[in-house]
Amino acid sequence: MEKIKGKRVSDGIVVGKIFFYSKQPQKVVRYKITDIACEIQRYESAKEEALIQIKALYDRMLKEYGENDAKIFEAHTMLLNDIDLNESVHSLIRGQSVNAEYAVAMTADKFCEIFDNLEDEYFRERSKDINDVCERVIEILGNNDDKDKISEPCIIISEDLSPSETVQFDRKHILAFATEKGSSYSHTAILARMMDIPALVRIPINEAWHGKNAIIDGENGFIIIEPDTATLEYYIKLSKEREKQKFYLHELIGKETCSKKGKKINLYANISNTYDLSAVKNNDAEGIGLFRSEFLYLESKDFPTEDQQFMAYKMAAEQMEGKKVIIRTLDIGTDKKLPYYETDKEDNPAMGYRAIRVCLSMTEMFKTQLRAIYRASAYGNVSIMYPMITSLDEVKEIKSIVAEVKKELEDSNICYKNVEQGIMIETPAAAVLSDVLAKEVDFFSIGSNDLTQFTLAVDRQNDKLSRFYKPQHEAVLRLIEMTIKNAHKEGIWVGICGEIGADIELVDRFIEMGIDELSVSPGMVLPIRKLIRESEK
């Protein structure tokens, strides 16, 4: 028996045989061509065939999992039609007289480098989309389509899996995924969660595992190869218990999130992308408490236009069908840097030029985002919150800019609804000033991750300091309680959108403090609802 630790990205426990999926490597050889027009046409034909294949995958996802999950392949279509990408391929073929395969491979490398150099893990994963579509074109150009076939339910082990490969597997043959590469932000991880199957990443894989019995423990992040009888029996029993628990949790769908003493908590979900909307709905979140808008900026080659942002916010508003959608304005800086907007190197970037400080320095960019959000408000229940607030002056400056945006929209006869204005309490300064700030806004959302690091003077990105980073520290909890009291004195509501909101040990204490809303990852909605409904507070 061999027990190996990885990183869990989708919970669950399964027992089954391993299928080692080994994708045939794309061998791209550079050679000189003489007929440039013919080579460009060869590329264009392969691209058209790739678009047909992607459309088929989109249709399959649409039928099996719904529109929101299918948008992964809508994004692939947009990438393959991207002007810059196609111009790069054409330019290489013309300028260097090289074959189309080589031009596509070099273009993929160039574009992936932009994303791979980003520090934020979620956005680094987007380079896989570029690789996926380019490899598809190269495969068509080389007539290489001898993918392995799977004919029975199994645990799929692979070095890595692209979204296309993940979806092409027959759903009834997939028990779980385990890959050597990838992260919790990869599309494969997202699809695993949507498909509700266990998944692990960062497993040191071995081709010799093919055909062997194994256990995937998605809750603790283990794969167990050839388990002994006692281990096998234990996990079979545990799997049955988990299925019962999941069944009982699903019975909470549609139920009110209310403690035994009648305290109602609005239980919302955090999302990083419109891809996450189906998970929000499937887990019956009562709204979106944190829509991280920066994904639009980090996935773009330039500042996204008003219309591009509007479409994303509108989609979220419509999909949530009247439930609250709280959009956080652009929060870049520290580990989230834009490849097309250079800033000075900082010794302490977490306390530097970031979040609202960027927006108040780049007011036209800020107004573009605000206009997009206000336009989207006509299609649902939209609110805005502003990150990294430290002073009353910042709030007043924001309100002045918002007034300008509303007037611009009115002058252009563009409809919008009343939009609640909130601020994030994620600095000790904001918490201490919460009695004053509460007079100026409609709600507070406590960003416990930053509040913890600033209160405890612990860089949360520094692994050496992880044992000193304690969200349950009494100083942090006192600041949260003070913020709630000050907000309620002024008649505004308070939520928590940081990781601490899903801390099962603190649910009762938050209820006692009088918290109005908790925003957690979609998968934690039902477990937290269960705890709140069982609470005596």
CA 94 to chain centroid, in Å, comes to: 38
Phi-psi region of 459 (alpha: psi -120 to 50; beta: other; left: phi over 0): beta
pLDDT digits (tens, 9 = 90+) for 428-471: 999 999 999 999 999 999 999 899 999 999 887 676 777 888 88
Q: Does the model's pTM come out above 0.75?
A: no
Q: Is 291 helix (H, G, I), strand (E, B) or coil?
A: strand
Residue 64 pLDDT:
66
Whole-angstrom distance, CA of residue 239 vs CA of residue 233? 10
Thinking of the domain 252-534, which architecture would CATH place it in?
Alpha-Beta Barrel (3.20)
More confident residue, 362 or 335: 362
What average pLDDT score do residues 103-129 get? 77
Range with the lowest mean pLDDT among 20-29, 277-286, 403-412, 433-442?
20-29
By C-alpha distance, which of 25, 21, 13 is closest to 176?
13
Binned at pLDDT 50, 70 and 90, residue 335 comes out as low
DSSP at 422? E
DSSP string, 294-316: HHHHHTSSSPPPHHHHHHHHHHH
The Cα 235–Cα 15 span in angstroms is 8
- Determine the pLDDT at residue 146: 37
- Name the token pair of 72: 């992964």
Query: pLDDT digit string (tens) for 137-173?
Result: 988 887 654 344 577 889 999 888 876 677 667 777 8
Ranking 343-347, 396-400, 414-418 by mean pLDDT, the lowest is 343-347
Half-sphere exposure of 271 (CA within 13 A, CB side): 27
Instruction: Give the pLDDT confidence score for residue 26 in this predicted structure.
Output: 61
Q: Is the pLDDT of residue 182 over 80?
A: no
User: In 3D, which of 525, 385, 388, 366 has the Cα closest to residue 454?
Assistant: 388
Please give the pLDDT value at position 124: 67
- Kindly list the strands in the beta sheet with 199-201, ordered across the sheet, starting from the edge strand earlier in the chain: 2-5, 222-225, 213-217, 13-20, 154-158, 174-179, 199-201, 7-10
Q: What is the pLDDT of residue 365?
A: 94
In sequence order, which residues have a C-beta less than 8 Å from that of residue 261 and are 6 or more positions away? 535, 536, 537
Strands 266-271 and 287-292: parallel
Closest to 409 in 3D by CA, of 387, 363, 377, 384: 377
Asked if residue 274 lies in contact with residue 311, where contact means CB atoms within 8 angstroms, the answer is: no
The pairing of beta strand 13-20 with beta strand 213-217? antiparallel
Positive or negative, the CA dihedral 367, 373, 376, 380 is: negative
Tell me which fold the domain 2-20+147-240 belongs to.
Glucose Oxidase; domain 1 (3.50.30)
Which residue among the candidates 90, 154, 187, 359 is catalytic per the annotation?
Answer: 187
User: How confident is the model over 87-97, as a mean pLDDT?
Assistant: 93
Q: DSSP code of 29?
A: -
CA dihedral angle for residue 517, residue 501, residue 527, residue 282, rounded to 10 degrees:
70
Amino acid at 272: S
Does the structure show a pLDDT above 60 at 269? yes
Burial of 482 (0-12, 13-18, 19+ CB in 10 A): middle
Does residue 415 have an active-site annotation? no
Residue 13 β-bridge partners: 217
At 325, list the tokens.
Answer: 């959608």
Query: Who's near 127: CB < 8 A, 6+ residues apart?
Result: 111, 112, 114, 115, 116
Specify the pLDDT at position 147.
43
Lowest mean pLDDT among 4-8, 25-29, 72-76, 216-220: 25-29
CA distance 384 to 236: 46
In the predicted structure, residue 125 carries a pLDDT above the cut 70: no
Q: How far apart are CA 493 and CA 423, in angstroms?
A: 11
Catalytic (active site) residue 250 = no
**How distant, in Å, are the alpha carbons of 207, 313, 325, 375, 495 from that of 383?**
50, 11, 6, 12, 13
Same fold across 2-20+147-240 and 36-141: no
Nearest-5° angle of CA 444, CA 446, CA 449? 160
Measured torsion, CA atoms of residues 158, 162, 165, 170, in degrees rounded to the nearest 10:
80
DSSP 346: -
Residue 295 pLDDT > 90:
no
CATH of domain 36-141: 1.10.274.10
CA atoms within 13 A on the CB side of 416: 27
Summary mean pLDDT of the chain = 87
Structure tokens at 537: 């507070």
Sign of the alpha-carbon torsion through 331, 333, 334, 339: positive
**Residue 415 DSSP SS3:** coil
DSSP letter string over 251-263? TTTT---B-TT--
Radius of gyration in angstroms for the set of CA atoms belonging to the chain, rounded to a whole number: 25
Give the residue extent of every domain in the chain.
2-20+147-240, 36-141, 252-534
* Whether the predicted pLDDT of 48 surpasses 50: yes
